Amino acid sequence: MSLLTQSLSQLQLQLRNRQLSPQELVHALCDAIEAGNEAIGAYLSWDREDALRQAAAADVNLPLGGLPIGIKDNIQVLGQPCTCASRMLEHYRAPYDAGATTRLREAGAIALGRLNMDEFAMGSSTENSALGQTRNPRDLRRIPGGSSGGSAAAVAGSLALAALGSDTGGSIRQPAALCGCVGLKPTYGRISRYGLVAFASSLDQIGPLTRTTADCALLLNHLCGHDPRDSTSLEASSEDFTRHLNTGVRGLRIGMPAEYFIDGIHPGVRQAVDRAIAKLSELGAEIVPVRLPHTEVAVSTYYIIAPAEASANLARFDGVRFGHRSARAQDLMEHYQFTRQEGFGDEVKRRILLGTYVLSSGYYDAYYLKAQRARSLIRQDFQQAFEKVDCIVSPTTPQPAHLLGALKDDPLAAYLEDIFTIPANLAGLPALSLPCGEVIPQPGEPALPVGLQLIGKPMDEARLLQISAALEQALA
């Protein structure tokens, strides 16, 4: 088996037995990236020498000792680029480590490579990157999903062993589903947001993208934990997430929300998801119908709250303190105007305009306040459903990966694709996507992965991983 398709725990064993050195692993990965990145475009940058320095210092007896992890380009790693795939930060280097980066380092991991994304994490195809196109390793004509498209493509294309992504409305789970890997968005507050470039602070969470459920649990073990530098970080947030990986699903109650099994889902996606649910039932879980009646307002609610927060967060890119500064400006107004005009791409500008509008006086109550009320109703829907069930199951996305460019001029159609992933962010709940089958879009074309989403109660990641592991084994 090739080195780069093995699981983190397999590699960990070889590192500890000295059958493999961290330097060999870094070389193997950098060779693979140099050979494969031109086609896939998962990485925006990588630094072999820096990774080798980290490898030389790595203690293989630490939990992630000597294992290189790829990092989305909006999570800071001291001294490395952190562009957010934006012209605005094209030449910016991180002045400190993010909380998640510190955790990885403390566990002995090596931070290797900066992964492409939609600019400032706004998008679901990675086509909004200002710095390069990422392609789906399963079919290079197709999108990898987004915004953590580089992370998912690197993991699925064997250019990374595992990666970090961020998820504001689906940006870990959706690309994981479209590329065929496991992606988990933890409960809001589980993983520190310190050093994650903010998009929508009440929704953003960092999380892992991996090839297996066990790898996901292993990484999560070392990413979680309280961080006083993030005021929303939860107190008791670390635990052993691997503890239920072999428990099975017998006796668990799994909810099937009617609102997530609707017209408009690709028939191949529906079939793969139905089969996975039948498998869960065969394995001894009880499938229970549930209702989440406010699902229909989730997308519109998100596209008010997320742009509102983004417009405030992105105000800091004023050409004074960070990144790009226009050379054309003659006075202060032009300085702001040209800097932001040149630095931001179209989607980012669209979000800032939307966000500024919904927060403006006269419209605030009609949009922002109303969206906050809708958000509470969506949260209550889940609370009620979780009185009856342990977990909720759904497709991760209504469609498999589309062709590059297919939705580029139709942002509204792209927004609607987030319908199944957004509610978990609005409610702050943990959610995971795992591969559950394939669909062949046209006869003779490559098969595309389908993702199954599991949404859990707050802090119930271990349960999601338990179900994911059982299903992964049963579908293998």
Q: Which of 33, 88, 111, 122 binds ligand GLN (CB under 6 A)?
A: 122
For residue 68, give both structure tokens: 């290189």
> Residue 185 catalytic?
no
Segment contacting ligand GLN by CB under 6 A, of 90-98, 117-125, 217-225, 255-263: 117-125
Please report whether residue 175 would count as binding ligand GLN according to CB under 6 A: no
Distance CA 285, CA 476 (A): 18
Closest to ligand GLN by CB, 145 or 255: 145
Q: Which of 68, 81, 157, 170 binds ligand GLN (CB under 6 A)?
A: 170
Closest C-alpha among 54, 473, 72, 460 to residue 255: 460
Closest to ligand GLN by CB, 354 or 470: 354
Distance CA 428, CA 108 (A): 29
Is residue 314 within 8 A of residue 352, CB to CB? The reply is yes
Q: 322 phi and psi, to 5 degrees? A: -130, 145
Please report whether residue 169 would count as binding ligand GLN according to CB under 6 A: yes
- Number of CB atoms found within 10 A of residue 390's CB: 21
> Residue 147 catalytic?
yes
- Active-site residue (options: 148, 166, 171, 394): 171
- Active-site residue (options: 86, 124, 129, 147): 147
Residue list 183-202, contact with ligand GLN (CB under 6 A): 199
Is residue 310 within 8 A of residue 344, CB to CB? The reply is no
For residue 461, give both structure tokens: 């990641």
CA distances from 308 to 89, 350, 358, 471 (A): 21, 11, 7, 38
Closest to ligand GLN by CB, 185 or 294: 185
Please report whether residue 306 would count as binding ligand GLN according to CB under 6 A: yes
Q: Which of 124, 205, 213, 242 binds ligand GLN (CB under 6 A)?
A: 124
Q: Is 439 helix (H, G, I), strand (E, B) or coil?
A: strand
Tell me how many degrees the CA angle 468-64-4 measures, rounded to the nearest 5. 70
Closest to ligand GLN by CB, 4 or 305: 305
Segment contacting ligand GLN by CB under 6 A, of 86-94, 121-129, 252-260, 375-383: 121-129
CA distances from 124 to 69, 175, 288, 377, 426 (A): 22, 8, 31, 25, 17
Min dist. Cβ of residue 462 to ligand GLN (A) = 23
Min dist. Cβ of residue 383 to ligand GLN (A) = 23
Closest to ligand GLN by CB, 350 or 370: 350
Distance CA 110, CA 65 (A): 8
For residue 202, give both structure tokens: 């009440």
- Cβ neighbours of residue 384 under 8 Å, at least 6 residues apart? none
Distance CA 110, CA 34 (A): 18
Segment contacting ligand GLN by CB under 6 A, of 60-68, 137-145, 168-176, 401-409: 168-176
Min dist. Cβ of residue 239 to ligand GLN (A) = 25
> Residue 171 catalytic?
yes
Please report whether residue 121 would count as binding ligand GLN according to CB under 6 A: yes
Please report whether residue 168 would count as binding ligand GLN according to CB under 6 A: yes
H or E element at residue 450? strand 448-456
Closest to ligand GLN by CB, 304 or 471: 304
Closest to ligand GLN by CB, 66 or 123: 123
Closest C-alpha among 142, 126, 204 to residue 170: 204
* Residue nearest to ligand GLN according to CB distances in the complex: 171
Segment contacting ligand GLN by CB under 6 A, of 37-45, 150-158, 164-172, 397-405: 164-172
CA distances from 309 to 98, 288, 313, 337 (A): 20, 36, 6, 20
Min dist. Cβ of residue 215 to ligand GLN (A) = 21
Please report whether residue 86 would count as binding ligand GLN according to CB under 6 A: no
Give, as one character, the DSSP assignment of residue 367: I
H or E element at residue 113? strand 110-115
Distance CA 127, CA 144 (A): 9
| Per-residue binder mask for ligand GLN (CB under 6 A), 404-433, x = binder | --------------x---------------
Min dist. Cβ of residue 372 to ligand GLN (A) = 18
Closest to ligand GLN by CB, 171 or 213: 171
Amino acid at 406: A
Please report whether residue 167 would count as binding ligand GLN according to CB under 6 A: yes
> Which residues of the chain form contacts with ligand GLN (CB under 6 A)?
121-124, 147, 167-171, 199, 306, 418
Residues designated catalytic: 72, 147, 171
